[in-house]
Amino acid sequence: MVFFAGMDIVFATAHSLNGLLVPVMLAAILFCVGKLLCTQAPVFRTLFTISAYANVTLLIAWVPGVSWMAGLWRFYLIGVGLVRLGGIGRSKAVQCVVLTAVILLSVILATLRFNT
């Protein structure tokens, strides 16, 4: 990838914001989905902890050809966290993760469509 003069700070800022804001967005979406699907949904703090720890996948996401696997691994880790920390059953955790992934993907696609 070729960077234009002065653009490296823009990309560094974008990647830093991605690392900081995505766990908050995921926790917020998980909170709403959990309230809809589960009788005893975890609190926001637990969901933020789960999504922040699942964000460790960004460490390998920069490797070419591995980023899609890192994204899937992130959602797998969120599902495991929902079962172990959130006290949700496996089937409800899968439903929450799939619905959260669909919502997040919809937000990303809408943002990209809006910017073009």
Q: What is the pLDDT averaged over residues 27-36?
A: 94
What's the mean per-residue pLDDT of the chain? Answer: 87
Task: Tell me how far CA of residue 98 lies from CA of 8, 48, 90, 103, in angstroms.
Answer: 34, 17, 12, 9
pLDDT of residue 76: 95
- Mean pLDDT over 61-65 rounds to 84
Three-state SS at 112: helix
pLDDT in tens, 78-98: 999 999 999 999 999 999 999
Question: Is the sign of the CA dihedral 101, 22, 77, 58 positive or negative?
Answer: positive
* High-pLDDT (> 70) share of the chain, %: 92
For the chain, what are the domain ranges? 23-115
Quick one: average pLDDT of 35-59?
Answer: 91
